[in-house]
Amino acid sequence: MSPIPPPPQPQESDRRTRAFGGLFDFEFNTFVIPTIVSILYIMLMVLALVFSTIGIIGGLYITIVQRDVSGLAAAVFTPLLALLFILFMRIPFELTMVVFNIAENLKVVRELEEARHP
C-alpha cells in the first residue's frame, strides 16, 4: 500500500474565487463559511479594539478630570475584557472551522478511495 499523499493546498486567489463562486454553487460542493468566519473574526477583533480604546480613554478621562479611582480600574480592566471577548468569540469560530475541515478531509478520503477502487 502506498501512503496517502496530502491534499493540495489552494492558492489565495483560488480561495477568493471559491468563496464568491461558492455563493452560486447550488450543489453545495464549495464551502463559503470559512471565508465568512475569517471576515467576521477580523470584524470582531476591530470592534474589540475600538471599544477597548474607548474604555481606556474614558477611564483615563474619569481618573484625570473627575479624580476618581474607578476610572483607573476601567482603563486597566477594559483591555482584559476585550481579550476575553476575543477568546470566547474565537472558540465557536474554531469549532465551525474544525467541522468544515473534517468535511473537506472526508471528501479527499472518499475521492482517494474511489480512485483506488473504481
User: In this predicted model, what pLDDT tens digit does every residue of 54-110 receive, in sequence order?
Assistant: 999 999 999 999 888 889 999 999 999 999 999 999 999 999 999 989 988 999 999
**Measured between alpha carbons, how far is residue 66 from residues 7, 9, 51, 69, 73 in Å?**
61, 57, 21, 9, 14
Question: Does residue 30 form part of some domain?
Answer: yes
Domain count, the chain: 1
**Residue 79: how many other CB atoms lie within 10 Å:** 15
Q: Which residues contact 52 (CB under 8 A, 6 or more apart)?
A: 78, 79, 81, 82
Q: What is the pTM of this model?
A: 0.69
Amino acid at 105: N
Question: Does residue 96 form part of some domain?
Answer: yes
The stretch 29-46 carries a mean pLDDT of 89
Positive or negative, the CA dihedral 10, 4, 104, 28 is positive
With 90 as the cut, is the pLDDT of residue 31 above it?
A: no
Please check whether residue 59 is in contact with residue 72, taking contact to mean a CB–CB distance below 8 angstroms: yes
The whole-number pLDDT of residue 4 equals: 60
Question: Does residue 4 form part of some domain?
Answer: no
Question: Does residue 17 form part of some domain?
Answer: yes
Question: Does residue 19 form part of some domain?
Answer: yes
In terms of residue numbers, what domain contains 105? Answer: 13-116
